[in-house]
Structure 1
Amino acid sequence: MATVGDFLLERLHQWGVRRIFGYPGDGINGIMAAFGRRDGGDAALEFIQTRHEEMAAFMACAHAKFTGEVGVCLATSGPGAVHLLNGLYDAKLDHQPVVAIVGQQQRSALGASYQQEIDLMALFKDVAGEYVQMAATSEQLRHLVDRAVRIAQSERCVTCIIIPNDLQEEEAMPTPPREHGSTFSGVGAARRAQVPPEDALVETASILNAGRKVAILAGAGAHGAQDELIEVAELLGAGVAKALLGKAVLPDDLPFVTGSIGIIGTRASNEMMQECDTLLMVGSSFPYAEFLPPEGQARGVQIDIDGRMLSLRYPMEANLVGDARATLRALIPHLQRKEDRGWRETIEGKVDRSWRELQQKAMEPAKPVNPQRVFTELSPRLPDKVILAADSGSAAAWYALDLRIRRGMLASLSGGLATMGCAVPYALAAKLAHPDRPVIALAGDGAMQMNGINGLMSIAWHRARWSDPTFVVLVLNNRDLNFVTWEQRGNQGEPKYEASQRLPDFSYAAYARLLGLDGLRVDDPEQLGAAWEQALSADGPFVLEVMVDPNIPPLPPHTVQKQKDKVEEALAKGDAEAHDVRRGVDTQSPS
């Protein structure tokens, strides 16, 4: 007899799902039993046991980001379901298609305040607001799976199916009775209109053609439109800034790519936005409006697949709903090449100065290692086709500023939610999906103490299956929750609060060696180049732990100056590291 659990896995397989991330529990025993019955079959559907349900949701989100497929995670009822939420919100805020499958107590116990009974419909109502349903009968499961996957795909969102544990072991009903009240759903992704109408393209082109100083901002929604973006930028003589989630959209070796934008953005991006007269946003919901042109300075055009995100950060004259690649391709014939290349030359000069400035700042002395130098030493050594996963915090700042992405690389982090603890599960999901590609996780010690240390166990467990052995976990060890420490000083004007900011010391490299991985601790900046080469050439996973200076502010030079008054206010109140803080701020301040 095929059970509901069997049918669930088979239907997901029909949708192209090949990997489900999760953690077992009695609320999903029927589904886990179905996995056991499938093992060894021709149609593989793999269960990946994670160290925590939060990591399962992170890995499902990362799978979606690095493959373009739907990510699926699985958790038991009660606490297991609750643990999924942070990773699911990461997917929701970064617009990634993820399906969460969660168990529930048996139907007869619901409403009886039974152990682990939680109102899961209410719990998931926000994070999976586009579609969350609980199965009541076996006949219902077919259309629940079909709709959950299709909606996640078409709306790029999180959906959720709740399955009581007793239902999981009932006989499957893959074909509902042909009677009133039944519904017959099917497998197949939805297709939507990809290109705006011709008159809208003509209107948009007229705005862009009239601009003398065009700035482009590209986000994650522009992935896959690299060639079209380059052609548009060439025609318009424009510079291109990249939102954090769009770091890998364009390579940084293009002389008109200004790099990251915002709080952890480059001087070149900031100056371009302050001086432009026309703004083209493609696939981005970049939130910090203060880093865009002042309202009224620039004429605006935006392209986004989701009409709800249009004209949200800047008042746009033209709003185009469509796929970035298809829309840009349709727009290109209407664009006129700008013969005056003065603006482009200005942008390229700013980009060159910006890179030289960042390199100079990275080489400033520190106690013991300047964290910025860790990334500038990595940048030219990045392997071809590498996949980068960065964590939130100061690691994200140096990732955004100092790594020069080349064509063919992939990179991501938690953008909208900016949650800690995602880098290692992201990297592991990337390696499982692309076992033939090198992967690097970039994390701080705070993130490692949340999820990263446990994630190393899974890395050790799965290492034998990877055809490319390169998997590096960088740990910035400064015994400090560094980004928040600088926010306390630079935003609130308050000194570092030791009780909240200090971290216990831990030897990450030594721990990696206990797990059978390789690891190295570095406290000398002159050893960084050789250390990266050792890590990247290792025959298996490698933890590179670098003892970095917590008093180098994780901010770009052009914004540190604005915050110096707040920092001085904080130091005047009595900061135990005042001397080193002043040194670090002076090091990063404009030359």
Structure 2
Amino acid sequence: MADRLVADGVVERLAAWGVDRVFGYSGDGINPVLGALRRAGSPEFIQARHEENAAFMAVGHAKYTGRVGVVLSTQGPGAVHLLNGLYDARMDSVPVVALVGQQSQTVLGSAYQQEIDLQSLFKDVASGFRQQVNSPDQAPMVIDRAFKAALATRSPAVVILPHDVQQEPAPELEHEHGVIPSAPLWSRGTVIPQDQDVHDAAALLNAGSKLALLVGQGARGAQAEVAALAEKLGAAVVTSLLGKLYVDETMPWAAGTMGHLGTSASGWAMANCDSLLIIGSNDPWTEFYPPPGAARAVQIDSDAKAIGNRYPVEVAVTGDAAESLRALLPLVHERLGWRGEVERHVDAWRTLSEARAFTAASPVNPERAIRELNGRLPGNAQVAVDVGSCVYWYARQLHLPPGVPAHLSSTLASMGCGLPYGLAAKLSAPDRPLVVLTGDGGFQMTGMAELITVSRLWKSWTNPVFAICILNNRDLAEVSWEQRETESEPRFGDSQELPDVDYSGYAKLLGLDGERVESADGVGPAWDRALAADRPYVLDIRTDADVPLLPPFPAGQELAKSMEEALETEGNSHALELLREYVRLEAESQPRD
């Protein structure tokens, strides 16, 4: 074997790009790169239990650190397994590079074992960049371009590495025709808005009296500017699900998350504003925007392609959110606007969310399970959220302390992201407490497997706190409520029921700890124990699947009728009683303007 292979050069290039961790699973198609990782000693290789989970970990790494996530797999089935995580990266706009093995070039086209047309497989998910390395001289340039494309487009890039090319001697690049030198270097820069666009935006906002800001993840570096603008304009601030962590929800103008899983205050603000400023958001819940024509709109985004995607805006400001808002702030008129109305509706929502959480359920209301984390979540914690009904309770009940990141698969909304995201977050900051919020469906899908990975890695963490809250209702609750709401169909037990598992017992089998919680009053003390534990801790909270996923009013009032019809067909009197109680609470909470 040559002293230095193309595979070694690939690993060296990863280090040059500042990669400290590669997630993946082994296989013969990528073995030369794995050997190079062993020889180099870094980046660290994190073995997941499944390639899909490894891809989720790479996405989580990118979300929590702001750097490129890197995932590695073999060809064939390994490559196919990556797709879900890579689509998560594409749809939530985060940079990921996938290194994928391939059979040797000499057998391609022969229907060889595990031979898949990888260029076609990744054509959509990695439309920004996907390339097969066909010669040793090509490898450094392709790796560099993959990283630059991932960073520039905030999307996944795929590098396909045939086995025989990985084994070739690493090249000493000559200065000659057909050899392209490149550098492992990239700078994000800052997109500065045009003055005229900013002035046009100010003119539109100055003409309005009932202003709302819709804040997305594009405002991640502009929290102070968003708050200053909201104060100056007397505006309501609504967030997308991805924007929730970039707004201090204790502020009196913070109306919470928008959409089907959002708050009643956000629904009221979006339905009644006359002017809308969209900041770094591409939220797809268009039915929860103001009706087209009801509000004049400005959109700020660093990506010109995103502007006007979701709502008919009049003014486009293409620029970095912080830079654009700093330019806008001196040009807008200070006013109270509809601040009094906003604060009344925000206060009403907060009263309603507390009432919902303390509504009796059997045995535990899931909203209470999440609400009890408020005031207990450490200020230096990180939070990972799975997909399902737990997202509703996270969006409505958890107030994140400033600086506490929380991430989930938002636009793809893929179950099973919770544990992989949590692992990526913990590995990136092993000194910070980590909380995972998941349902039993998501935990059964990927979490039980990756809890094995937790049991393998946790002893090296400087802070062992890794608290996993499982809302255990033995039901795929979000889909059960969707069936009732959108189809007027009763719950289909064969498709919705989940096996009952002793999750805390399983954790103990792995050398971890945990407990089952079966009373509402026991939730708070259980959180205290989980957040003080000397090892990862599983909270198996037995929650009530009949707690309704009621959308905000007025949409929720109409959809509740469909839910009622389905529950009557089911003969589910307990769920019907809870639904009617939630409708009553919602109706009575609405301020009288």
Partner of 1:568: 564
Amino acid paired to 1:454: A
Normalization by structure 2: what TM-score?
0.96
Q: Secondary structure at the match of 1:551?
A: coil
1:148 and 2:118 aligned: no
Partner of 2:386: 391
Partner of 1:160: 158
Q: Secondary structure at the match of 2:380?
A: coil
1:60 and 2:62 aligned: no
2: CA distance, partners of 1:301 / 1:484:
35
2: CA distance, partners of 1:491 / 1:58:
30
One of 351, 368, 371 as aligned partner of 1:373: 368
Q: Secondary structure at the match of 1:380?
A: coil
Question: Can you list the C-alpha shifts for 1:338-371, whole angstroms capped at 9, x where unaligned?
Answer: 2xx2511211111111011110111111111111
Identical columns (%): 46
Matches within 5 A, 1:59-208: 59-173=57-171, 175-208=172-205
Q: Answer whether contact 1:557 1:588 (CA < 8 A) is retained.
A: no
Partner of 1:585: 579
Displacement of 1:96 after TM fit? 0.3
Displacement of 1:329 after TM fit? 1.8
Q: Answer whether contact 1:23 1:51 (CA < 8 A) is retained.
A: yes
Partner of 1:10: 12
Q: Secondary structure at the match of 1:405?
A: coil
Amino acid paired to 1:90: D
2: CA distance, partners of 1:568 / 1:267:
20
One of 228, 232, 245 as aligned partner of 2:229: 232
Q: Secondary structure at the match of 1:381?
A: coil
Moved more, 208-217 or 192-201: 192-201
Displacement of 1:120 after TM fit? 0.2
Displacement of 1:381 after TM fit? 1.3
Q: Answer whether contact 1:247 1:412 (CA < 8 A) is retained.
A: no
Amino acid paired to 2:64: F
**Any unmatched runs of 5+ in structure 1?**
none
C-alpha RMSD of the superposition: 1.2
Partner of 1:429: 424
2: CA distance, partners of 1:85 / 1:215:
37
1: CA distance, partners of 2:465 / 2:188:
37
Q: Secondary structure at the match of 1:216?
A: strand
2: CA distance, partners of 1:560 / 1:206:
35
Partner of 2:591: none
Moved more, 254-263 or 552-561: 552-561
Displacement of 1:557 after TM fit? 5.4
Moved more, 513-522 or 205-214: 205-214
1: CA distance, partners of 2:175 / 2:528:
64
1:272 and 2:269 aligned: yes
Q: Secondary structure at the match of 1:81?
A: helix
Displacement of 1:193 after TM fit? 4.7
Q: Answer whether contact 1:370 1:525 (CA < 8 A) is retained.
A: yes
| Runs of at least 4 residues off by over 3 Å | 190-193
Question: Can you list the C-alpha shifts for 1:121-146, whole angstroms capped at 9, x where unaligned?
Answer: 00001000000000000000011000
2: CA distance, partners of 1:179 / 1:483:
60
Number of residue pairs matched by the alignment? 582
One of 37, 45, 48 as aligned partner of 1:47: 45
Partner of 1:346: 341
2: CA distance, partners of 1:188 / 1:123:
28
Amino acid paired to 2:483: Q
Moved more, 548-557 or 427-436: 548-557
Displacement of 1:333 after TM fit? 2.4
Q: Answer whether contact 2:95 2:150 (CA < 8 A) is retained.
A: yes
2: CA distance, partners of 1:390 / 1:552:
19
Question: Can you list the C-alpha shifts for 1:33-80, whole angstroms capped at 9, x where unaligned?
Answer: 1011112xxxx3111111110011101101111110000000000000
Question: Can you list the C-alpha shifts for 1:86-118, whole angstroms capped at 9, x where unaligned?
Answer: 011001000000001100001100000000000
Q: Secondary structure at the match of 1:585?
A: helix
Question: Can you list the C-alpha shifts for 1:319-339, whole angstroms capped at 9, x where unaligned?
Answer: 11222122212222222212x
Partner of 2:513: 518
Displacement of 1:192 after TM fit? 4.5
Q: Answer whether contact 1:553 1:584 (CA < 8 A) is retained.
A: yes
Q: Answer whether contact 1:397 1:555 (CA < 8 A) is retained.
A: no
Q: Secondary structure at the match of 2:276?
A: strand
1: CA distance, partners of 2:187 / 2:119:
25
1:253 and 2:250 aligned: yes
Q: Secondary structure at the match of 2:487?
A: coil
Moved more, 371-380 or 26-35: 371-380
Normalization by structure 1: what TM-score?
0.97
1: CA distance, partners of 2:208 / 2:194:
22
Displacement of 1:556 after TM fit? 4.4
Displacement of 1:19 after TM fit? 0.5
Amino acid paired to 1:18: D
Q: Answer whether contact 2:126 2:156 (CA < 8 A) is retained.
A: yes
Q: Answer whether contact 2:255 2:346 (CA < 8 A) is retained.
A: yes
Q: Secondary structure at the match of 2:181?
A: coil
Q: Answer whether contact 1:101 1:163 (CA < 8 A) is retained.
A: yes
Amino acid paired to 1:81: A
Q: Answer whether contact 2:214 2:276 (CA < 8 A) is retained.
A: yes
Moved more, 474-483 or 324-333: 324-333
Question: Can you list the C-alpha shifts for 1:468-493, whole angstroms capped at 9, x where unaligned?
Answer: 22111110111100000000011100
Partner of 1:449: 444
Amino acid paired to 1:461: R
1: CA distance, partners of 2:90 / 2:519:
41
Q: Answer whether contact 1:398 1:554 (CA < 8 A) is retained.
A: no
Moved more, 10-19 or 324-333: 324-333
Q: Answer whether contact 1:401 1:556 (CA < 8 A) is retained.
A: no
